[in-house]
């Protein structure tokens, strides 16, 4: 028997509840960001646990403990094997940046259009851009070990027993709506899980391709730049641009020809990711329109700052999933219209 169309009062109550929820999230935005980051960590751990449970007959808690031990061993082992080399590369990277800026400045001065660009760059710096403040904010953000530790603890607790917290959220809604909300939360978790797995594979591919391409060109610091490209690939649109610009900037220390080769390699890798990797990932995981991805960075960045930028895409994945489950499925289908 088809579900009856919701009344005007029900729609009004739902709209009011959404507005109240948005206001509550705004006032408690720091807590919300930490909680969502914990959920992302929990879903990531769950992805590893699922792979482990397919290989071994383990309970959820035992699989979680084993995953944490394996991650700890991998971190310690990786730090022992690659730590000194990476530390040296990142230290050299910090030292090479001023030389790269000087090399770009000299190249612009010698080029036909360089005088205009150099003048604009000089004026941009003369306007008093708060580089020190930007660096201070980045340093504080990256050095927030307490917040990172809290996120990790939240993620472990959520991964250990997600159903308890899911049932707690479901009990906050009226009994008649609990099955719908429970199913919506399950769908959102599944889509977030699929997106994280797909994004992880895409980041790994970008990091490997960048490292190999820069190594083939003969660029120094290829491994460090590959890791930076992989990490920044988590932020759509802006992350790959920043990583590519950094690689091209450093390539100027080797000369304009090397910078051109690096630029071509960076563009080629981004095209491979955008036209091959992303469609394959979205076909298996979740299809998020590019416009929504870009808007997510802007909207959640304005709402939550740098953490919002970093978590913009997974947040939008969850929002789109909840809208599809709670609105499209519940109301459009109830009105007799086909769901998209």
Higher pLDDT, 103 or 33: 33
CA gap 144, 37 in Å, rounded? 14
Q: How does 41-56 read in b/e, with b if 16+ C-beta sit within 10 Å?
A: bbbbbbbbbeebbeee
The percent of residues in the chain predicted with pLDDT above 70, rounded, is 71
Mean pLDDT of the 131-156 span:
61
Higher pLDDT, 202 or 23: 202
Q: Residue 45: phi, psi to the nearest 5?
A: -65, -40
Sign of CA dihedral 319, 321, 324, 326: negative
Q: What pLDDT does residue 124 have?
A: 44
- C-alpha to C-alpha distances, 143 to 72, 140, 147, 149, nearest whole angstrom: 20, 5, 9, 11
**Stretch (H or E) spanning 326:** none
Higher pLDDT, 111 or 301: 301
**329, 339, 337, 336: which is closest to 4 by C-alpha?**
336
**84, 94, 78: which is closest to 228 by C-alpha?**
94
Mean pLDDT of the 3-24 span:
69
Mean pLDDT of the 58-73 span:
87
CA gap 226, 222 in Å, rounded? 6
CA torsion 90-94-99-101 (nearest 10°) is 110
Q: What pLDDT does residue 140 have?
A: 45
Higher pLDDT, 299 or 336: 299
Angle between helices 145-160 and 60-110 (to 10 degrees): 140
pLDDT above 50 (res 126) = no
pLDDT digits (tens, 9 = 90+) for 78-105: 777 666 666 666 676 666 666 666 666 6
User: Worst-scoring range by mean pLDDT, 2-6, 205-209, 285-289, 293-297?
Assistant: 2-6
Res. 130 pLDDT band, cuts 50 70 90: very low
Q: What pLDDT does residue 95 have?
A: 66
CA gap 234, 275 in Å, rounded? 17
Res. 209 pLDDT band, cuts 50 70 90: very high
Res. 51 pLDDT band, cuts 50 70 90: confident
Report the chain's mean pLDDT, rounded to a whole number: 76
3 state SS of 144: coil
Q: What pLDDT does residue 23 have?
A: 77
pLDDT above 50 (res 138) = no
pLDDT above 60 (res 137) = no
Res. 132 pLDDT band, cuts 50 70 90: very low
The percent of residues in the chain predicted with pLDDT above 90, rounded, is 2
Q: What pLDDT does residue 139 have?
A: 45
Alpha helix (H) residue ranges in the chain: 8-27, 29-55, 60-110, 114-126, 131-142, 145-160, 162-170, 178-217, 222-232, 238-251, 256-272, 278-284, 290-304, 306-310, 312-323
Q: What pLDDT does residue 212 have?
A: 92
- C-alpha to C-alpha distances, 150 to 33, 37, 147, 215, 309, nearest whole angstrom: 12, 10, 5, 38, 19
Sign of CA dihedral 82, 87, 89, 93: positive
Exposed, middle or buried by CB within 10 Å (0-12, 13-18, 19+), for 163? exposed
- C-alpha to C-alpha distances, 311 to 41, 155, 279, 286, nearest whole angstrom: 11, 15, 21, 16
Q: What pLDDT does residue 10 have?
A: 66
User: Worst-scoring range by mean pLDDT, 57-61, 160-164, 215-219, 235-239?
Assistant: 235-239
Q: What pLDDT does residue 104 have?
A: 63
- Whether the CB-CB separation of 158 and 42 falls below 8 Å is answered with yes
Q: What pLDDT does residue 219 have?
A: 82
pLDDT above 70 (res 253) = yes
3 state SS of 22: helix
CA gap 296, 314 in Å, rounded? 9
- Whether the CB-CB separation of 316 and 287 falls below 8 Å is answered with no
pLDDT digits (tens, 9 = 90+) for 256-315: 788 888 889 988 988 888 777 777 766 666 667 777 777 888 888 888 887 888 888 888
């Amino acid at each position: 028997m088809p579900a009856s169309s919701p009344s005007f009062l029900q729609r009004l109550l739902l709209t009011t509840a959404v507005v109240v929820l948005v206001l509550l999230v705004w006032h408690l935005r720091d807590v919300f960001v930490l909680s969502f980051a914990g959920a992302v960590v929990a879903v990531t751990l769950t992805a590893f646990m699922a792979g482990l449970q397919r290989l071994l007959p383990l309970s959820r808690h035992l699989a979680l403990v084993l995953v944490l031990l394996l991650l700890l061993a991998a971190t310690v082992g990786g730090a022992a094997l690659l730590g000194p080399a990476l530390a040296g590369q990142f230290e050299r990277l910090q030292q090479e940046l001023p030389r790269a800026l000087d090399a770009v400045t000299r190249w612009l001065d010698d080029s036909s259009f360089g005088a205009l660009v150099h003048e604009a760059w000089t004026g941009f710096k003369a306007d008093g851009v708060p580089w020190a403040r930007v660096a201070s904010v980045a340093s504080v953000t990256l050095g927030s070990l307490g917040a990172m530790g809290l996120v990790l603890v939240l993620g472990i607790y959520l991964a250990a027993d997600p159903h308890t917290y899911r049932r707690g959220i479901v009990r906050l809604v009226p009994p008649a709506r609990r099955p719908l909300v429970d199913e919506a939360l399950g769908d959102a978790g599944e889509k977030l899980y699929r997106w994280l797995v797909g994004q992880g594979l895409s980041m790994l591919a970008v990091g490997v391709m960048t490292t190999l391409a820069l190594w083939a060109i003969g660029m120094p610091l290829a491994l460090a730049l590959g890791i930076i490209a992989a990490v920044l690939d988590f932020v759509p649109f802006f992350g790959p641009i920043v990583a590519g610009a950094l690689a091209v900037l450093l390539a100027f220390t080797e000369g304009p020809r090397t910078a051109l080769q690096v630029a071509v390699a960076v563009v080629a890798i981004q095209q491979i990711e955008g036209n091959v990797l992303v469609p394959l990932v979205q076909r298996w995981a979740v299809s998020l329109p590019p416009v929504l991805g870009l808007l997510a960075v802007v909207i959640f960045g304005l709402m939550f700052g740098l953490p919002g930028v970093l978590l913009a895409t997974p947040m939008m994945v969850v929002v789109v999933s909840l809208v599809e489950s709670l609105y499209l499925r519940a109301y459009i289908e109830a009105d007799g219209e086909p769901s998209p």
